[in-house]
Every structure is written in structure tokens, then in C-alpha cells.
């Protein structure tokens, strides 16, 4: 081939901003927080230090950020803590990533620190357990909704508490507004779940969640993992944790925990069974150099990691924000698996967005990277319909914010309804939602338009 042969590029050079997903926060970024100014890298990466220093009260928050937040913000947060249905717990890692020049609009603050000033009234059709998990629970701590899959909940604590948690009815300590339902927290209750799973040969896929498996001691990771691997018909297991998003250093410094998880993954592989980690990144800012090191450690050990995001207003609900998150996840070897519609959770209406937003965002994201690294956008249908592709509604009344889904393989013949946040609707639609009688009529009209009988309607 001649050395002077011209090379004709079919596409223009990629602009630098296309590579923003590679620009991870570097260095000792935590030192701008007064409480962490003298914290060296070894200390900050210590998972036990992160747990001890996690903020749980308004007073602890003030002690941590006293010189970087305004008095107005602190008073707002103090009032927010008092009215929150979820307990508050925020790791130093997350606190260090918040933009304290504009904390009200910061995407990480929005997920973990409630402010009284931003609260909106709950949707009039909201219930505490909108997914009806308790109705599909044959024994404490086990949810059997899908034919071949069960959700095992062996604990009710997390390294942080997300304001938007779908299990606010059970997770964390009681609050002024919610007395928590107990999950399976003892080995005896775990064994009851294992017996049920062993007696149901159709159960091939078990999700271990809670709570958060980050909080399980290594011996319990092995106990639960091996007990499930010993059941012949269990073929797939997923350990679910938000930990890598808000405390990635645990993977680097809690060797016993990582070794325990690795042992279950390795034993599963020898048995021809899949054991993976599911995690929960929502904001691109959550992914730093520490995250990259932690995810590399998992990757080197052959631990496949998938991500399940929630579509949250002010966090990732624009096309560009979601695209950046998806690309950044792929960059650190995390597979973007799902993006959920925000569940209808008490006390966090300002975080929800519309079905239309989800549909538009998915259209934009799809095609910006490989298909296997593109998440599926889903609505976990209120009332127990399970996960439905967000665009697969039977009918969507955009004016009144009512989407009707069917779940033929989960609960055949039933109609499940998801409601857009009222404040995102027109003034006329908001006025209609103020009347209970009109609400009922709008819902039943939507179900009839979907071609499903009114008597088959399942509401949250």
C-alpha cells in the first residue's frame, strides 16, 4: 500500500466534551469539607471510619458542614429531618461530593438529605407499600412475585438511607411518621425462606437485598450464598447493594467481605451457576477515582456488576445527565441494566418525574453506546404488576398523568396504574386531581381506554 494514500474519515472529529465521562474526580477531594480537612487518604478509604462518621442527625450534619453551609440551609435541613419518613444516614464520601455552593440543587444532596422547603404534597393515590410486596410474601423477608424469581430480604439496614427507598415501610429505624414492618433478620427466619425456596422448584433466580448486603458480615454472605447454592434448582443469584455508589472504599479495605463474596461467585461458577453483584448509581458525580479502583478490584476477581438506577428529578432526569451516567458506568466496568421510574414513595414527591420524561430519555440514550451497555427503562407497576418496559403501557393519558400497564405473565388480566406527579401537569389537570370523584372517573376512563375491564383494576 502506498504511504501517500489518503485516509478519508467519514465522521468529523469527536469534540472534547464527548469524553466527559472519563473525567473522574481525582485527588483528596474530601479535604474542602472542614470536618475532613485533616483526613489523610488511608483514613478516608477506611470503611469503618466511613461508617463511624456517617451523618445520622441534623446536629451531626451541622458539625460536619458548619463552615460550608448557610444558616438558612441548616434550618431547612433540620426541619426536613423532622418530617422525613426515612431515617437519615449519609456517608462522608457522599457528603464530600455534594456541591456546598448550591446544596439545594445538588443531585447527591437531593437523594439523601431532606429539606422542608422543597417538599411537595404526596400524590393523592399514594400508599406506603405501593408495590404490594407484603401481599406476595409467603414467609417474612421473602417476596415471590415472578414465577421463577424471589426477592430475599435478610436485613433492614443500609450504609446510607435513600430518601426515595421503595421499602420505606420496612428499611431503617422507625421514624415519627412510619413504624417499620419487620423483615427476616434472624438465621431462623432465613432458614424459613430457604425451606420455602427449596420446596418451589420453579424458583431459579434469587435476589439478595434488604436492606443492603454491604451491611452483612462476611460469614453471613457465605452462609446465605452457600445455602442458596446448595439448592439444586437455584441457578442465578444477585447480591444487591448501593455500597459501591456511596462507600466504594469498602471494596478496597474490607478484604474479608470481598473475599466472602468472591468465594460465593467462584463456587457458583464451579457449579455452573451465575452469581453477580447489583448496585445502584444514580448520579455521574458518584463515580470517582475511588469508584474506578473498587470496580477494577471486582472486575479482576471476575465479579460481574450490573447497575439499577432510579429516574430522579434534579438528579438524572435530563437526556444529557442520563447519557453521561450510562457512559461513565461503562467506563468503570459496570453494566447499566435498569432505569426505574421513581416508585410512589411517601414524602419525596419532588423527586418523581413523568412517564413521558422516561420515554424521551430512553430514546436519546439508546444508540449512544453499545446495546449491552444501554439500560432498559422500566416502571415497577404499583399494585404488584412487576417491572414493565416504560413505553409498553396499554394506554397513557398524558394530560392527566395516568399510565395503564398490563402484566400478563405476572398477574394476567389485571390493570396496573402509575401516576405522574401532579405538579408536573397542567393547571386544569391539577384542579381535576383535587376532586376525589373526578380522580376515580379519570382512572376508570384510562383503564377502559386500555381495553381492560374496570373490575380488573389494581391500585397501589
Task: Give the CA diameter of the chain.
Answer: 80
Nearest-10 crossing angle of helices 218-229, 255-270 = 10
Count of domains forming the chain: 3
Please, are residues 181 and 170 in contact by the beta-carbon 8 Å criterion?
Answer: yes
- Residues 392, 428: one domain? yes
What is the span of the domain harbouring residue 58? Answer: 23-118
What SS3 state is found at 212?
coil
Please, are residues 114 and 162 in contact by the beta-carbon 8 Å criterion?
Answer: no
109 found inside a domain: yes
7 found inside a domain: no
How do strand 335-341 and strand 457-458 relate by DSSP bridges? unpaired
- Of the candidates 69, 83, 72, the one whose C-alpha atom is nearest the C-alpha of residue 114 is 83
- Residues 272, 166: one domain? yes
149 found inside a domain: yes
Query: What are the Cα distances from residue 177, in Å, to 10, 342, 347?
Result: 60, 21, 10
pLDDT at residue 174 in the model: 43
Burial of residue 403 (number of CB atoms within 10 Å: 0-12, 13-18, 19+): buried
pLDDT at residue 347 in the model: 87
Q: CA–CA separation, 328 vs 21, rounded Å?
A: 5
Q: CA–CA separation, 186 vs 2, rounded Å?
A: 74
- Residues 282, 198: one domain? yes
Q: CA–CA separation, 241 vs 307, rounded Å?
A: 10
CATH number (domain holding residue 342): 3.20.20.70
What SS3 state is found at 77?
helix
306 found inside a domain: yes
Give me the half-sphere count of Cα atoms (radius 13 Å) on the Cβ side of residue 16.
Answer: 1
CA angle 431, 110, 180 (to 5 degrees): 85
And the C-alpha cell for 307? 447497575
- Residues 169, 140: one domain? yes
Nearest-10 crossing angle of helices 187-198, 218-229 = 20
Q: CA–CA separation, 308 vs 20, rounded Å?
A: 21
- Residues 153, 96: one domain? no
273 found inside a domain: yes
- Residues 354, 392: one domain? no
213 found inside a domain: yes
437 found inside a domain: yes
pLDDT at residue 416 in the model: 93
SS3 content of the chain, % helix, strand, coil (to 5): 40, 15, 45
- The sign of the dihedral angle between the CA atoms of 431, 433, 438, 444 is positive
- Residues 312, 343: one domain? yes
- Residues 137, 114: one domain? no
Please, are residues 123 and 150 in contact by the beta-carbon 8 Å criterion?
Answer: no
- Residues 37, 158: one domain? no
pLDDT at residue 456 in the model: 72
Q: CA–CA separation, 163 vs 172, rounded Å?
A: 11
- Residues 53, 162: one domain? no
12 found inside a domain: no
And the C-alpha cell for 131? 408495590
- Residues 153, 269: one domain? yes
Please list the pLDDT of the chain residue by residue as tens digits (460 residues): 455 566 667 788 888 888 999 999 999 999 999 899 999 999 999 999 999 999 988 888 888 988 888 889 989 998 998 887 778 889 999 999 999 999 999 999 999 999 999 999 999 988 755 555 667 889 988 999 889 999 999 988 888 888 888 755 544 444 444 443 455 568 888 999 999 999 999 999 999 997 899 999 999 999 999 999 999 999 999 999 999 999 999 999 999 999 999 999 999 999 999 999 999 999 999 999 999 999 999 999 999 999 999 999 999 999 999 999 999 999 999 999 999 999 988 889 999 999 999 999 999 999 989 889 999 999 998 888 889 999 999 999 999 999 999 999 888 889 999 999 999 999 999 999 999 999 999 999 999 999 986 557 776 5
What SS3 state is found at 194?
helix
Amino acid at each position: 500500500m502506498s504511504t501517500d494514500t489518503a485516509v478519508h474519515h467519514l465522521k468529523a472529529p469527536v469534540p472534547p466534551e464527548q469524553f466527559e465521562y472519563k473525567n473522574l474526580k481525582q485527588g483528596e477531594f474530601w479535604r474542602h469539607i472542614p470536618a475532613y480537612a485533616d483526613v489523610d487518604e488511608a483514613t478516608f478509604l477506611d470503611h469503618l471510619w466511613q461508617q463511624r462518621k456517617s451523618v445520622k442527625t441534623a446536629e451531626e450534619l451541622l458539625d460536619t458542614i458548619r463552615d460550608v453551609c448557610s444558616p438558612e440551609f441548616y434550618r431547612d435541613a433540620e426541619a426536613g429531618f423532622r418530617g422525613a419518613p426515612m431515617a437519615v444516614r449519609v456517608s462522608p464520601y457522599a457528603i464530600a461530593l455534594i456541591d456546598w455552593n448550591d446544596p439545594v440543587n445538588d443531585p447527591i444532596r437531593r437523594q439523601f438529605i431532606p429539606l422542608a422547603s422543597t417538599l411537595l404534597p404526596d400524590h393523592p393515590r399514594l400508599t406506603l407499600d405501593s408495590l404490594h410486596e407484603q401481599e406476595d410474601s409467603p414467609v417474612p423477608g421473602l417476596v415471590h412475585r415472578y414465577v421463577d424469581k424471589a426477592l430475599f430480604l435478610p436485613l433492614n439496614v443500609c450504609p446510607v438511607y435513600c430518601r426515595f427507598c421503595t421499602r420505606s415501610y420496612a428499611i431503617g429505624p422507625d421514624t415519627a411518621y412510619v413504624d417499620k414492618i419487620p423483615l427476616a433478620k434472624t438465621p431462623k427466619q432465613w432458614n424459613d425462606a430457604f425451606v420455602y425456596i427449596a420446596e418451589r422448584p420453579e424458583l431459579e433466580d434469587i435476589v439478595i437485598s434488604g436492606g443492603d448486603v454491604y451491611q452483612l458480615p462476611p460469614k453471613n454472605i457465605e452462609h446465605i450464598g452457600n445455602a442458596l447454592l446448595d439448592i439444586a434448582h437455584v441457578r442465578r443469584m444477585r447480591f444487591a447493594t448501593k455500597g459501591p455508589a456511596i462507600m466504594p472504599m469498602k471494596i478496597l479495605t474490607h478484604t474479608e467481605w470481598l473475599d466472602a463474596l468472591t468465594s460465593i461467585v467462584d463456587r457458583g461458577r464451579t457449579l455452573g451457576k451465575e452469581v453477580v453483584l447489583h448496585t445502584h448509581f444514580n448520579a455521574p458525580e458518584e463515580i470517582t477515582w475511588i469508584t474506578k479502583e473498587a470496580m477494577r478490584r471486582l472486575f479482576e476477581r471476575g465479579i460481574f456488576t450490573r447497575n439499577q438506577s432510579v429516574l430522579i428529578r434534579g438528579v438524572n432526569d435530563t437526556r444529557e445527565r442520563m447519557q453521561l451516567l450510562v457512559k461513565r458506568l461503562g467506563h468503570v466496568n459496570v453494566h447499566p441494566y435498569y432505569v426505574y421510574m421513581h416508585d410512589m414513595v411517601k414524602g419525596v414527591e419532588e423527586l418523581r418525574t413523568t412517564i413521558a420524561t422516561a420515554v424521551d430519555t430512553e430514546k436519546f440514550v439508546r444508540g449512544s453506546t453499545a446495546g449491552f451497555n444501554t439500560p432498559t427503562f422500566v416502571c415497577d407497576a404499583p399494585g404488584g404488576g412487576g417491572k414493565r418496559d416504560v413505553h409498553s403501557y396499554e394506554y397513557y393519558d398524558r394530560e392527566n398523568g395516568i399510565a395503564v400497564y398490563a402484566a400478563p405473565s405476572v398477574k394476567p388480566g389485571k390493570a396496573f396504574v402509575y401516576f405522574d406527579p401532579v405538579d408536573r401537569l397542567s393547571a386544569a389537570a391539577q384542579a381535576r386531581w383535587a376532586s376525589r370523584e373526578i380522580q376515580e372517573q379519570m382512572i376508570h376512563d384510562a383503564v377502559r381506554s386500555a381495553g381492560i375491564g374496570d373490575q380488573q383494576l389494581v391500585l397501589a
